[in-house]
Chain A
Amino acid sequence: MSAMVEVRSVHKSFGPLGVLKGVDLQVRTGEVAVVLGPSGSGKSTLLRTINHLEKVDSGWISVNGALIGYRRSGDRLHELRERDILKQRTRIGFVFQNFHLFPHLTVLENITEAPVSALRRPKAEAVRTAERLLDRVGLADRAGAYPKQLSGGQQQRVAIARALALEPELLLFDEPTSALDPELVGEVLDVIRDVADQGTTMIVVTHEIGFAREVADTVVFMDGGRIVEQGPPGEVLDRPRHERTRAFLAKVL
């Protein structure tokens, strides 16, 4: 078994508020892990530590064998230079709840920006890749539009294409459908499902239980800054072992 993501006893506090209280998690290459849990349980913070948008207070995280944000020498972890952290991030795609598309750039420019400026790809090649990705998310005809001219669902599909343009080895989704009108959720989940089917390793924080059941290899349930239980969706969702999992599922199902 090869672990793509390894999280080891990660702690993180915001001031006096402990958000992650010793999280251990392994995600295998090609696996889709769906993280469930009530708000404030630390799911989003965990996801953000994996590409070093949040620094951990203790513990460590590695992706594909490389420590994220740090270099180890002896029993110390030295924080990497900004340039090296940025390089690591180009291999980890991140999709935000509120899309965070660049509003002053067209859809095409949003997607080609990182390949051209962070990976130094030739412009023409980046444009070809972007057009192919737009076709894949069903927006081939909107390349010249500005984000505000698209629906929320379309914006999120562009954001997914933007993350895919870097050909990441790992994709992180932070509640990708929570900001969408209900009728737009399906089109975004379809795209995520399609990406999952291609074998990309991904961690998805979501409230969509049906999606978890259908797409997840592993369901991870978090509460109070800890992982309460994890396992195949058939186990965690249908035969939860912990009272807190049962209570949560009773509320959302």
Chain B
Amino acid sequence: MPSDTLDAPAVPAAAPPGADAAVPRIVPRRRPGRWAAAVLVLVLAALAVTSVVRNPAFQWGVVADYFLTDAVLRGLGLTLWLTAVVMVLGFAVGTLLAVLRLSGNPVLRGVAWGYVWLFRSMPILVQLLFWFNIGALYPVVLGVRTVDLLGPVTVAVIGLTLHEAAYAAEVVRGGILSVDKGQLEAAQSLGLGAWRRLRRIVLPQAMRSIVPPAGNMLIGTLKGTSIVSVIAVQDLLYSVQLVYHRTYQVIPLLLVATIWYVVVTSVLGVGQHYVERHYARGTAGAR
């Protein structure tokens, strides 16, 4: 019989003293440093919270008073609407650009590349002001005065969408490139048409790489829409600004807007988790 089996030490003298032939118990290492760091951080956090809550200058009462007022809720509604419209249109245009960018036609590839290059290079603020003043370049379009055609909200949608599409194009292109080339060959060998290959085989698999950065973009867009306040679109930020220009309660009203942004962002984060889970089906992690 071999003497080097796992459960019986080969040489009895090698067993730890006092173990009495029983299996020795494993004792984890003590980590006093961890405990000290945790306590320190908790104390600092508690001090920060207390100072915020007890400092009367934050005017939490005013925050509560305005949190659910009609003006604020209308602003929130416009921010959510703008975010949704810009995301949907931006990703629709972005997907089209990504497909053009990957097409066999060098002219289409070049145009898509040029679009992304241009709109990623221009600051969104500059773009919004540019579209806002487009009437100076084209005073009349199709017999209608441009300023009548393009109100502030329309300008906001156009500017943000063009900007968003440039980034969405890169996100979608990255997602498409992440799909194994063999998937496309398998689809071709089965006789699936180009549109079907894209919609049924490639895009659903690309979504796994698209959703996380798209979630980032969604949250970025939600907060980024606040930039439309410069062209007097009454979004969440501009609505509270209108109030504090009247009442001078700047800090509490900015807190109202901030808390709403945090609430919506948190809800979107939960939603992203479920969307990611949906597109992970069929992968090892989702058995």
Contacts and interface: CB of A to CB of B under 8 A. Distances in A.
Nearest to A90: B191
B247 to A, nearest CB: 54
A68 to B, nearest CB: 12
A40 interface: no
Interface in A127-167: 146-149, 162-163, 166
A51 interface: yes
A148 to B, nearest CB: 5
Contacts of B283: 103, 148
Contact of B192 (A86, A93, A96, A148): A86
A98 B26 CA distance: 45
Given A147-B282, A148-B282, A148-B284, A103 B190 contact: no
Interface residues of A, number: 32
**Contact residues of B: prevailing secondary structure:** helix
A114 interface: yes
A98 B182 contact: yes
B204 interface: yes
Given A104-B204, A149-B287, A53 B185 contact: yes
Contacts, number: 76
Nearest to A105: B282
Given A82-B194, A90-B191, A102-B201, A146 B281 contact: yes
A148 B205 CA distance: 14
A217 B63 CA distance: 85
Contacts of A86: 188, 191-193
Given A146-B281, A146-B282, A148-B284, A53 B205 contact: no
Task: Say which size band chain B's interface belongs to.
Answer: 20 to 34
B275 to A, nearest CB: 14
A112 B147 CA distance: 54
A72 interface: no
Contacts of B191: 86-87, 89-90, 114, 118-119, 166
B200 interface: yes
A96 B185 CA distance: 9
Given A86-B188, A96-B185, A100-B185, A117 B196 contact: yes
A166 B186 CA distance: 13
Nearest to B204: A104
Contacts of B186: 94, 96, 100-102
B183 A89 contact: no
A90 B193 CA distance: 11
A117 B196 CA distance: 8
Nearest to B181: A100
Interface in A102-124: 102-106, 113-114, 117-119
B189 A89 contact: yes
A94 B186 CA distance: 8
Contacts of B188: 53, 86, 89
B13 to A, nearest CB: 44
A83 interface: yes
A103 to B, nearest CB: 5
Nearest to B189: A94
B8 to A, nearest CB: 33
B191 to A, nearest CB: 4
Given A100-B185, A104-B282, A89 B194 contact: no
Contacts of B189: 51, 53, 89, 92-94
A114 B192 contact: yes
Contacts of B193: 82-83, 86, 117-118
A242 B282 CA distance: 48
Interface in B165-203: 180, 182-183, 185-194, 196, 200-201
A98 B181 CA distance: 12
Given A89-B190, A103-B205, A117-B192, A96 B282 contact: no
A105 B283 CA distance: 10
Contacts of B201: 102
28 contacts: A51-B189, A86-B188, A86-B192, A87-B191, A89-B188, A90-B190, A90-B191, A92-B189, A94-B189, A100-B180, A100-B185, A101-B186, A102-B205, A103-B283, A104-B204, A104-B281, A106-B282, A113-B192, A114-B192, A117-B193, A117-B200, A118-B190, A118-B191, A118-B196, A119-B191, A146-B281, A147-B282, A163-B190
Interface of A: 51, 53, 82-83, 86-87, 89-90, 92-94, 96, 98, 100-106, 113-114, 117-119, 146-149, 162-163, 166
8 closest A-B pairs by CB:
A90-B191, A100-B186, A114-B190, A146-B282, A118-B191, A94-B189, A100-B182, A86-B191
Given A86-B192, A117-B193, 6 more contacts: A86-B188, A90-B191, A104-B281, A106-B282, A113-B190, A118-B196
